[in-house]
Amino acid sequence: MRYIIRARLARGVALACIVAGPLAGVSAPAAAQTKVRLMHVEANPRYVAIWRNLADTYQSQHPGTTVELQFLENEAFKAKLPTLLQSNDAPDLFYSWSGGVLKAQAEAGAVQDLTEAMQADDGAWAKSFTPAALNGATIDGKTLCVPLKMSMTGFFYNKALFAKAGVDAASIKTWDDFMGAVKALKTAGVTPIAGGGGDKWPLHFYWSYLALREGGQPAFAAAKANEDGGFTAKPFVDAFAKVKELGAAEPFQPGYLGTKWQDTLALFGDGRAAMLLTFDDSANRQAAAATDGKGIARDQLGIFPFPTVAGGQSKGDETFGGVNCWAVSRNASKEAIDFVRWFSGPEAQRTMAENGMLIPAAAGADAALKDPIVQDFAAQLSRSSFHQLFLDQDLGPSVGRVVNDATMEVVSGQMEPEAAAQEIQDAFELE
């Protein structure tokens, strides 16, 4: 609608100038500019500069289109977006975690169904993405966003602090191994894990990954189908029992319940904690968040997969993370769709991959990955037998809040595992 109004105004101005031209010697103005507005979660200045350079490249190739980028901190983004989507001031394109939140936005009529556009010309646009990425952007048979990246979580660790405590990361295969490493680090006077309880969602990674290790894909399939007790089934309760065990070991820094995510990255980057369960692109993020702007040197930074659990039903290679994408708001112009098609295409995603920003969703763009750490995560994804989306997104916004809250209460000793699992099941049934 904004584009239509601007176009009408531009035609009116042009007509006035044509009438006045012979008398005043004024030529007709250039064609009206179309503004494409994109809103993203980003705090890394280096990444922001790369996004901007890519947008500038597109602008230079498409005269008449201006791309406006807005970057917000994670929680500010989540707080502001719902209000914008209910108004006429929504961004044309916005960063999405797919899953239940995106589904709810689509059901509310806030985003466009891109299935027809993706499947046009024998599915040319759809085929430009890896199948797993496109599947993550497709809900109930509808492609509701444009894939940007694959992501997963895993443990980053500080090699110097591990050496101080005599811990060998390569030996951490099981949950018992992991808890042994926590104990050894504490004994050596090292804070084992940087904890981000202030935003809650960083700690839900532990329960989610443990549940995946306990029950594998079958447990999640049954729970989402509300079968076998749903989220009160044994794998989910057992996962909470291990979260309780972790909290009782006091592995996090003092005051972790109030520590925001950016501060958690800084804590780890400053060398004040040995481990961080985080996203695949966090090598750069910890450096940007660190007090000195450099963080842990690459040769002192390592990663290892989330451990398996004794007696678990998983295959051990399942991964937990996301398929992040660009959602197109209901009033976005065709120019916005043209831009996001280019912005998510192989050329732009190769640039992002070269700079270690992401594991690209565009087919073939992962060949540009240079960072050994990101390559390792990409390799894990390629071997994964099942990729579970972040639960606080996958299960919908209401259930997601309960997942985050319940995990916080269990890890801090305020709730028992059975009660936490029941709360999630109750929320799921009401969704």
pLDDT (0 to 100) of residue 32: 57
User: H/E element holding 348?
Assistant: helix 346-354
Tokens of 244: 């309780």
For the chain, 431 residues long, the average pLDDT of each consecutive 10-residue run is: 37 34 38 86 90 96 96 91 94 93 93 97 95 87 95 97 98 98 98 97 96 96 95 98 98 97 97 97 94 96 97 92 95 96 96 90 92 90 86 85 96 98 97 79
Instruction: Return the structure tokens found at 351.
Output: 């640039």
How does strand 34-41 pair with strand 65-72? parallel
Residue type (1 letter), 5: I
- Residue 300 in tokens: 């002192």
Return the residue matching tokens 């705090």: 43
Contacts of 411 (CB under 8 A, 6+ apart): 197, 203, 206, 243, 244, 246, 247
Return the CA Rg of the chain. 24
Beta bridge partners of 275: 157, 193
Task: Find out whether 393 and 151 touch, Cβ atoms under 8 Å.
Answer: no
Number of neighbouring beta carbons within 10 Å of residue 77: 17
Tokens of 285: 């993020």
Tokens 């980057």 correspond to what residue? 269
Residue 39 tokens read as 């809103």
Q: Which of 42, 39, 40 is nearest to 281 (CA)?
A: 42
Query: Are the beta carbons of 277 and 154 closer than 8 angstroms?
Result: yes
- The angle subtended at Cα 207 by Cα 205 and Cα 208, nearest 5°, is 60
> How far apart (Å, rounded) are the C-alpha atoms in residues 292 and 287?
8
Question: Domains in the chain, ordered, with CATH?
Answer: 34-151+322-388 (3.40.190.10), 152-320+390-430 (3.40.190.10)
Predicted local confidence at residue 22, as pLDDT: 37
Which amino acid is residue 114, in one-letter code? Answer: L
Beta strands in 42-183 (DSSP E): 65-72, 93-96, 138-139, 142-143, 146-158
Residue 350 structure tokens = 């190769």
Q: Which pLDDT does position 397 carry in this prediction?
A: 77
Residue type, 153: T
The number of residues making up the chain comes to 431
Neighbours of 79 (CB within 10 A): 11
**CA dist., res. 240 & res. 211, Å (int):** 8
The rounded distance, in Å, linking the Cα atoms of 401 and 247 is 20
Q: Which of 46, 91, 31 is nearest to 295 (CA)?
A: 46
User: Angle between the 201-224 and 397-411 helix axes, to the nearest 10 degrees?
Assistant: 120
Amino acid residing at 72: L
Contact 277, 306 (CB under 8 A): yes
